[in-house]
Chain A
Amino acid sequence: MRLPSLLLSTFGLLAASLHAADPIKIGEYASLTGKEAAYGQTSHKGTLLAIEELNARGGALGRPLVLLTEDNQSKQGESATAVKKLISRDQVVALLGEVASIRSLEAAPVIQNAKIPMIAPSSVNSRITEVGDYIFRVCFVDAFQGNVLAKFVQETLHVRRVAILTSVSNAYSVGMTRIFKGRFVADGGTVVAEQKYSEGDKDFRAQLTAVKAAGADAIFASGYYTEAALICRQARQLGLDMPIFGGDGWDAPPLIEIGGQAVEGTYFSTHYSPDNPSPVVQEFNHRYLARWGELPDAWAALGYDSAFVLADAIRRAGSTEPKAIRDALAATKDFPAVTGNITIDTKRNASKSAVILTIKDGKYKFIATVAP
């Protein structure tokens, strides 16, 4: 069943004075339910908060912003349908989405064909922005993150022999494995076992038993939290007590809820840590907490930034013409965002720093920031 979730954002206090102006329609497609809903929900909350704050300051070009959201249920095939609907029926001027790379990759060609600008808040797979000149992102790419992780495990954890578990039906996981492996091997490390699984798998004992026999110093689980939590649990049950680590795909509360004791002492890299003492981050934490009653995670921060970068481009473009917005987006330079200053490079990616976190006593603990 499709849950029609056309969520209109509230216009804020200034709505009354602005109601004469035509609102600017912005589309969002997100995994609000389903397997990756933990990402989709917080990303959506971040975006919604940004739209509310923008409207409270008068919107853009003197017009309020309205966010039209479609849920793709974390399912393949739904994102293309959702963006087609947003473009043809709702006639949005720009699109925001997705967290999961595979769903951004699905929607991007449709959006590129329609010549509407799209900003992926947090999909790291390199191929997404290669789809065309209307596709942007406000996060780093997997090439950077894979290198950061390879360097971290070799230099800080002193790991020389690693086993990799890849989700072969997940574009993000495949990309992360490829980059990590290239860098790790180039730096003198050895990949002793490469095991594969598919999205939605729950039994990893077979792969982990093979890893155990291969004698690895650490395990790289390059997929999402849904599988990573079960991988950690089953690894610990089989008596594998070496470090397990992953990328930003791990960054969601269910990792700890499902993983429990098994994810203690694991590491992952991500985009944002609420523990960062920078005043920009602390003020954002405060506003987000006041609005949603919880601290923001990386997806919330990037969802928030994606809306602000878009509004800034609309303002600089001086028009809601998709072509004008695209050109303004491409010219984004040193935009002060909560996840760091954003400059869009020639490949339409943002170059930003990554943070490395560990889990201690059921909570995230900040380890290091790695600049590009």
Chain B
Amino acid sequence: MTEFLQQLVNGVSLGAIFALIALGYTMVYGVLRFINFAHSEVFMVGAFTGYFIGQHVPAHSMSGGLLALAGAMAASAVLGIVIERLAYRPLRGAPTLNVLITAIGVSLLLQNLAQYFWGATPRPYPELFPAANYNLGGIVVSSNQVTVVVVTLALLLALRFIVLRTKIGTAMRALSLNPKAAALVGINIDVVISFTFGLGSALAAAGGVLYALNYPSIDPIMGTLPGLKAFVAAVLGGIGNIPGAALGGLLLGVIETFVNGSEWSTYKDAIAFAVLILILLFRPAGLLGRFTVEKV
């Protein structure tokens, strides 16, 4: 029982990070109907920004940690907006496939720029937040795991508030529903799209910093695997659906952890993806997605 609960704690803290990254994929898909493959590199840049800020703030302090987190989120938000402005906006109206290929190109460009400027050697990540381990009747929970879950919950609530209760959130939903009609009623589409990219990228950066805190070794290709998993989580939950992305991330993290702790650990990715295929066979639009017929 202790082992089961411990694995659950491990799985939830891993899944919370997948959820944060998945939100960015799903939000961009919601407004633009394409998968932003450069998202996993925004995640990596977020982790690196946190690393560089971490060199200048006191270690093991709440304020220093929050400062690094906020700085990384701000820097990545700007990066996300710039990527959209330079690479995707000129292709607005072009076939989705063209934008998709551009996204892969941006992803490779960022990865290689990072290798060029920061080198490919893994770096140890500083301890930004106060570190401690709590023992709850045999179940060990590290303060970093608590931080991950608390920060993810706080960001999810903030995101829900923005999307449902603010003007820009309403505009995002309108754009997702029908871009042409949204433009006709006077919504500035460019601003809304920039905002969506900024918001999604900030969440990815938060995910990057939290990921690096838990697994303190970062390198320029660190984003690839978590990015792929988060993409899967977004599809699992129903792409374009915000609570779905969070649920998908959590589910994927827990499944992966349980398989990893069993004797089939060699096949952890195979099993995680088999679960995905099974779910999509029975619910093609994902767990919380609504099935809609593509308009031709």
Contacts and interface: CB of A to CB of B under 8 A. Distances in A.
A38 B115 CA distance: 16
A372 B106 CA distance: 53
A271 B217 CA distance: 26
A207 B257 CA distance: 8
B122 A210 contact: no
B198 to A, nearest CB: 27
A299 to B, nearest CB: 15
Contacts of B211: 202
Contacts of A73: 120
B260 A207 contact: yes
Contacts, number: 92
Nearest to A32: B120
A316 interface: no
Contact of A202 (B112, B215, B266): B215
A186 interface: no
Contacts of A197: 260, 265
A264 to B, nearest CB: 16
Contacts of A237: 133, 140, 142
Interface stretch (B3-11, B167-175, B187-195, B275-283): B3-11
B140 A206 contact: no
A207 B2 CA distance: 14
B115 A1 contact: yes
B58 interface: no
Interface in A193-233: 194-198, 200, 202-203, 205-207, 209-210, 212-213, 226, 229-230, 233
B215 A212 contact: no
Interface string A73-109: 1100000000000000000000000000000000000
Interface string A56-87: 00000000000000000110000000000000
A229 B261 CA distance: 19
A336 interface: no
A238 B142 CA distance: 8
A206 B7 contact: yes
Interface residues of A, number: 36
B228 to A, nearest CB: 12
Interface residues of B, number: 37
Contact of B261 (A210, A239, A254, A257): A210
Contact of B124 (A33, A207, A212, A254): A254
A37 B120 contact: yes
Contact of A213 (B3, B115, B256): B3
A194 B266 CA distance: 11
Nearest to B133: A237
Given A35-B122, A38-B121, A195-B265, A210 B215 contact: no
B124 A205 contact: no
Contacts of B112: 1
A54 interface: no
Nearest to A40: B121
Interface string A22-44: 00000000000111011000000
A200 to B, nearest CB: 7
A258 B142 contact: no
B140 A203 contact: no
Nearest to A211: B261
Contacts of A196: 265-266
B140 A229 contact: no
B112 to A, nearest CB: 4
A35 B219 contact: yes
Contacts of B258: 206
A257 B121 CA distance: 13
A258 B124 contact: yes
B130 to A, nearest CB: 14
B214 interface: yes
B225 interface: yes
Contacts of A258: 122, 124, 216-217
B173 to A, nearest CB: 35
A337 interface: no
A168 interface: yes
Contact of A207 (B122, B216, B261): B261
A182 to B, nearest CB: 19
Contacts of A203: 10, 14, 214-215, 257, 260
Interface in B178-221: 211, 214-217, 219
Contacts of B265: 195-197, 206-207
Max chain B C-beta neighbours (<10 A), residue from A194, A202, A226: A202
Contacts of B266: 168, 196
Contacts of B142: 237
Contacts of A207: 260-261, 265
Interface in B31-55: none
A82 to B, nearest CB: 16
Nearest to A204: B260
Contacts of A238: 6, 140
Given A229-B217, A258-B216, A206 B121 contact: no
Max chain A C-beta neighbours (<10 A), residue from B121, B140, B142, B216: B121
Contact of B121 (A33, A195, A210): A33
Nearest to B116: A1
Given A195-B261, A196-B265, A239-B140, 9 more contacts: A33-B115, A33-B121, A206-B265, A207-B260, A207-B261, A210-B3, A212-B3, A212-B6, A226-B217
Interface of B: 2-3, 6-7, 10-11, 14, 112, 115-116, 119-122, 124, 133, 135, 140, 142, 211, 214-217, 219, 225, 256-263, 265-266, 269
30 contacts: A1-B116, A33-B121, A73-B120, A74-B120, A196-B265, A200-B225, A202-B215, A203-B10, A203-B214, A205-B10, A205-B257, A206-B7, A206-B259, A206-B261, A209-B3, A209-B6, A209-B7, A212-B6, A213-B3, A226-B217, A229-B217, A230-B217, A237-B133, A239-B135, A254-B122, A254-B124, A257-B124, A258-B122, A258-B124, A260-B124
